[in-house]
Amino acid sequence: MTVRLTVVGDALLDRDVEGHVTRMAPDAPVPVVDHEQTISRPGGAGLAALLAASGRCEVRLITALASDAAGTELSDALAAAGVDVVDLGLDGATPEKIRVRAAGRALVRVDRGGTPPGRVGAATAQARAAVTWADALLVADYGRGVAADAGLRTVLRRAVARDVPLVWDPHPRGLAPVPGATLATPNDGEARRFAPDAARGEGTAAVIARAQALRRAWRARWACVTRGADGAVLAGDGPPRAVPAARAAGADPCGAGDRFASRAAELLACGAAVPDAVAAAVTSASAFVAAGGAAAVGPGRPGAPEGMPGDDDLEGVLARVRARGGTVVATGGCFDLVHAGHVRTLQAARALGDCLVVALNSDASVHRLKGAGRPVVGQDDRAAVLRALGCVDAVAIFEEDTPARMLARVRPDVWVKGGDYAEGDLPEAAELAAWGGRVAILPYLAGRSTTRLIEEVLDAG
Residues 261 and 379 in one domain: no
Asked if 449 and 341 touch (Cβ cutoff 8 Å), the reply is yes
Taking the C-alpha atoms of residue 272 and residue 56, their distance in angstroms, rounded to an integer, is 14
Q: Which of 303, 257, 349, 340 is nearest to 45 (CA)?
A: 257
One domain for residues 154 and 94: yes
Examine the domain organization and report whether 308 and 333 are in the same domain.
no
Looking at per-residue pLDDT, the higher value among 18 and 456 belongs to 18
Picking from 282, 312, 342, the residue at the C-terminal end of a domain is: 312
On whether residue 319 sits in a domain, the answer given is: no
User: What does the longest C-alpha to C-alpha distance in the chain come to?
Assistant: 78
CATH of the domain at 19: 3.40.1190.20
**Domain shared by 38 and 149, yes or no:** yes
Q: Within a domain: residue 318?
A: no
Regarding whether 295 and 217 lie in a shared domain, the answer is yes
Interval 392-439: pLDDT, tens: 889 988 888 888 888 888 889 999 887 655 555 677 777 888 888 888
- Is residue 320 in some structural domain? no
- Per the structure, the complete domain to which residue 441 belongs is given by 326-460
User: For residue range 81-102, what is the model confidence (pLDDT) as tens digits?
Assistant: 999 999 999 999 999 999 999 8
Residue 427 identity (one-letter amino acid): P
Handedness of CA 269, 272, 277, 283 (dihedral sign): negative
pLDDT value at residue 450:
47
- Residues 286 and 429 placed together within one structural domain of the fold: no
User: For residue 253, is the peptide bond before it cis, meaning its omega torsion is within 30 degrees of 0?
Assistant: no
Q: List Cβ neighbours of 351 (8 Å cut-off, separation of 6 or more).
A: none
Last residue in a domain, options 266, 282, 312: 312
Beta bridge partners of 39: 16
Q: Which tops the pLDDT comparison, 276 or 141?
A: 141
Return all residues near 319 (Cβ < 8 A) that are at least 6 apart: 267, 270, 272, 273, 276, 277, 279, 280
Task: Look at residues 286, 312, 338 and tell me which one is the last residue of a structural domain.
Answer: 312
Domain count, the chain: 2
**Helices 69-80 and 45-53 sit at what angle, rounded to 10 degrees?**
20
Please write the tens of the pLDDT for every residue from 148-187. 999 999 999 999 999 999 999 999 888 999 999 999 999 9
| CA 300 vs CA 40, 201, 331, 401: distances in Å | 11, 43, 38, 42
- Are both 300 and 350 inside the same structural domain? no
349: phi then psi, degrees, rounded to nearest 5: -65, -45
The H or E element containing residue 192 is: helix 188-194
The model's confidence at residue 213, banded by pLDDT at 50, 70 and 90, is very high
Work out the average pLDDT over 182-206: 86
Is 211 found in the same domain as 257? yes
The reply to whether 282 falls in a domain is yes
Low-confidence winner among 13-27, 133-147, 156-170, 266-280 (lowest mean pLDDT): 266-280
pLDDT bin (cut points 50, 70, 90) of residue 330 is very high
Average model confidence (pLDDT) across the chain: 85
pLDDT in tens, 277-326: 888 888 788 878 877 778 777 654 433 333 333 345 687 788 878 877 88
Q: Is residue 317 part of a domain?
A: no
Give the amino acid at 400.
E
CA neighbor of 191 nearest in space, from 167, 145, 223? 223
Residue 347, domain CATH = 3.40.50.620
Spell out the alpha helix ranges (H) of 242-313. 256-269, 274-290
For range 97-120, the mean pLDDT: 88
Mean pLDDT within 234-241: 89
Which residues are 209's β-sheet partners?
none
DSSP characters for 99-162? EEEETTEEEEEEEES-SSPPEEPPPPHHHHHHHHH-SEEEEE--SSSSTT-HHHHHHHHHHHHT
State the catalytic residues. Answer: 258
Q: Are residues 255 and 384 in the same domain?
A: no
Q: CA 233 to CA 243: how far, in whole Å?
A: 6
Say if residues 87 and 20 touch (Cβ distance below 8 Å).
no
Whether 270 and 363 map to the same domain: the answer is no
Task: State the amino acid at position 440 in one-letter form.
Answer: A
Mean pLDDT of 77-83: 93
In which band, very low, low, confident or very high, does the pLDDT at 58 lie, cut at 50, 70 and 90? very high
Note whether residue 321 is domain-resident: no
> What is the spatial distance between Cα 153 and Cα 262, in angstroms, rounded to a whole number?
20
Residues 248 and 332 in one domain: no
User: Which of 223-237, 311-325, 375-389 has the lowest average pLDDT?
Assistant: 311-325
Q: Does residue 85 belong to any structural domain of this protein?
A: yes
Same-domain status, 344 and 209: no
In a domain, 216, yes or no: yes
CA-angle at 399, arms to 395 and 401, nearest 5° = 105
